[in-house]
Structure 1
Amino acid sequence: MGSGRVLVAGAVLVALVALGARLAAGTRPSAFFQWSATIECHFLNGTERVRFLVRHVYNRQQYVHFDSDVGLFVADTVLGEPSANLFNSQPDVLEKNRAAVEMLCNYNYEIVAPLTLQRREPKVRISALQSGSLPQTDRLACYVTGFYPPEIEVKWFQNGQEETERVVSTDVIQNGDWTYQVLVVLETSPRHGDSYVCQVEHTSLQQPITQRWEPPGDVSRSKLLMGVGGFVLGLVYLALGIFFFLCSKKGVCWGSGAVVGEGEPALSLSQ
């Protein structure tokens, strides 16, 4: 183990590759030899149970390893027995590897966990796209951004039916801040009366997000009808308000068969 502190995110990989001495110009190597060591931190339920491993590999075969659950180096092959005996005979080497559970794994878990384990809810937006100079929409794009972890499912629905054949998706892309984004496009030519839904399912959500889109003409027509209806209803209430105001102001109203004036006896119209 080196004396420097190594930052890990659940698992740390340190590879040291030895390819032999530098070759003289014009010569070809007869063989390549590779040695590597990997350092790993395994977490179960956060830091409830932590296991620290160091694996020594020669030519892709692990020959000796340290396991914090055992507390010693263990030989995996005959080649690893001398190394295991050597490491286990050095108290300072054993002490450093045993302390790595706390000093290396748990320490870095507190640093990295808020960035890697905290979930982020996706944001969803739909845009209509046109090909070239064509005025009509021929694609609908569902932009899903800002989510973590990267596993996500995005579906398109047209008039309540899921679309699968005309759907094209990009790969999930990193944003550089531990969040991700994806673009899912539906190839379609919207018509009057059509309705579209982009549905997003993610582990950060208690229920899927459903973003609805309708052709602009339908939306404008609906808003126009709502506006006209509101205007007419307002006129009705205004007329009723003026009538009752004048009635109470003059003290003259009509009822069933009688006219009543302020300060005068009622005069029956039925006589």
Structure 2
Amino acid sequence: MGLGAAAGALLVALGVLGAPPGAGAELSGVFQYMLKAECYFINGTENVRFVQRQIYNREQYAMFDSDVGLWVGFTPFGEMNAKYWNSDPAILEHKRAQVDTYCRHNYEVSRPFITERRVPPSVSISLVPASSSQPGPGRLLCSVMDFYPAAIQVRWFQGQQELSEHVVATDVVANGDWTYQLLVLLETPPRRGLSYSCQVEHVSLEQPLRRHWEMPPDAGRSKMLTGIGGLVLGSVFVALGLGFYVRKKVRAGAGGGVAAVAEPPERDKGIRTKNSNGSQNRDPPKTPPWAPKIGGRVRASSGSSRGRLRAPSVALRAHRAGSVLLPGTRIRTGGTGNGGAAPQKTLSQWESGVE
């Protein structure tokens, strides 16, 4: 009966503490009750420990430890409750069994995700700008991100020599998605010409992962060399252009002092073509401007063919009629000469005006 009265008193006390304030009253504080269960595993499920904590307003007043097998009170209220729970065999049997029913059971359920899960880290090196308190080119920061589980080792190297001093690391921080991150800063300023490496060792990696970093070349010197190279290249192009220009002017001056010689006009050169039967035809030549004007009836004869042409100009009529007057062709004019025959002249005589 005394146990029932104690339990009733506990419920009444909790109800009073948790009851809303009356009208016009103000809250004097925040009241919080927390139950926290913990499982500790050593070498898998070989050795398991179960702990349950009772907390009120951030103060732990009672705790059950499976290694002890009993409830322990830390405040007068906790001692009263611990005495009651330890006096009930059913309550003690239930709590002692939770090493198996709660811890070992949830270990098997969560093992593929918790103990067998592997997420390799992503590693990068960046140069942190120097501050007023730390002058110089800056500091090297190795960022190790998104890995699981949390156990990890990060080391800095200069060439093949490990830098164990002047290295500062943050705590392993949980990202909230079952992954972690870690930042490791090398406080020694980097020097030009040396290689630095950040080496990460993690259970998800078959071998240590390294990232290398070297001081970039001087930007001012690089710009100066680029400007000098551009100036030299531009000078070469200017010299080539002047050379070509002078050479062209010299050639033009040498060619301008020589008088051009006009070629004599070609006379009576017809264009030879072939007929389908293999014979050659000669197209009539163009009438030259120096062709003589011939009046009266004329007769043209050459070798094997003769024909009469009636035109004020023998050459022009011959050209219009399609006939050909070769340089040796004799032209007979109207009228009679000695013996009643009409005088004949060659085409060259007509051209030169020879009588």
The two structures have a TM-score, normalised by structure 2, of 0.40
- Which is richer in helix? 2
**Which one has a bigger Cα radius of gyration?**
2
- RCO higher in 1 or 2 (8 Å CA, sep ≥ 6)? 1
